[in-house]
């Protein structure tokens, strides 16, 4: 894929990182899947408190972040919500050698918000009547062919034989947090998000968790980007994959790969 001109990259960095902060010494920019926002903000604060240096997370869907990295966006670390987008960067030789590691685990859940019936109860299985539960509303999901949460959700619905019945009732959002907001605001009665997203918003409730065998394992790989590799980046990456960050991720409901 051809790289954009230098001026375009500078403009992109200014938009993403609020000026030149990402280029200052002592700052490590982390491109992180949108579902990591609450936990990563806390990890970044802990890192600054311990080291005096800044970890600057930039959140979006993993697909969007991977494409920006391919186009030369200035970042040092990438945490994806699925292995596929990290594989793509690996194939393009954009990752620092031997830095890739599986970091976190998650689950996907069916949630309801203010737009759903207050007494609605659903058990997810091949007999689930999602269309009936939606009434005239839509099922909020992240982009089902690009964003990991949407990919996992579509895979689960397909495995259970539910996708064809509900496909034309799906409201697709740019990332999983945007799908969560559709449900939390009442714009969509039901949605499919990560368990950690549902736990982060008190205005939604979990109806059920999708069976683990209905979709590929939800694994978040992390890696240092080759162009951003440095001793400083290695220190930040060590913190991100270390005990303090691990405790934060666990507190936010993530599983830690390897446990």
Q: Which residues are annotated as a binding site?
A: 35, 62, 149, 176, 194
Rg (CA), the chain: 19
State phi, psi for 228 to the nearest 5 degrees: -110, 10
Euclidean distance between the first and the last CA atom of the chain, given in angstroms as a whole number: 38
Strands 218-224 vs 101-106: parallel, antiparallel or unpaired: antiparallel
101 backbone φψ class: left, alpha, beta (φ>0; ψ -120 to 50):
beta
* CA dihedral sign, ordered 212, 108, 75, 5: positive
- Cβ-based neighbour number of residue 5 at 10 Å: 10
Annotated binding site for molybdate: 35, 62, 149, 176, 194
């Amino acid at each position: 894929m051809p790289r954009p001109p230098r001026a375009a990259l500078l403009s992109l960095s200014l938009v993403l990182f609020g000026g030149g902060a990402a280029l200052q010494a002592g700052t490590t920019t982390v491109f992180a899947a949108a579902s990591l926002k609450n936990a990563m903000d806390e990890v970044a604060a802990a890192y600054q408190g311990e080291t005096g240096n800044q970890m600057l997370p930039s959140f979006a869907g993993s697909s969007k972040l991977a494409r920006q990295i391919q186009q030369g966006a200035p970042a040092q670390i990438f945490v994806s919500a699925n292995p596929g987008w990290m594989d793509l960067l690996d194939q393009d030789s954009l990752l620092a050698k031997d830095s890739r590691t599986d970091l976190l685990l998650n689950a996907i859940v069916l949630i309801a918000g203010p737009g759903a019936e207050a007494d609605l109860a659903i058990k997810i299985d091949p007999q689930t009547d999602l269309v009936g539960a939606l009434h005239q509303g839509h099922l909020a999901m992240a982009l089902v062919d690009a964003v990991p949460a949407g990919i996992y959700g579509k895979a689960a619905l397909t495995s259970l034989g539910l996708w064809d019945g509900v496909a034309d009732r799906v409201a697709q959002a740019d990332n999983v947090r945007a799908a969560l907001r559709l449900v939390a605001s009442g714009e969509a009665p039901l949605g499919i998000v990560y368990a950690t997203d549902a736990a982060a918003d008190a205005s939604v409730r979990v109806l059920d968790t999708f069976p683990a065998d209905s979709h590929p394992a939800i694994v978040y790989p992390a890696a240092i980007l080759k162009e951003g590799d440095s001793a400083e980046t290695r220190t930040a990456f060590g913190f991100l994959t270390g005990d303090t960050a691990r405790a934060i991720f666990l507190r936010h409901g993530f599983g830690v790969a390897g446990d």
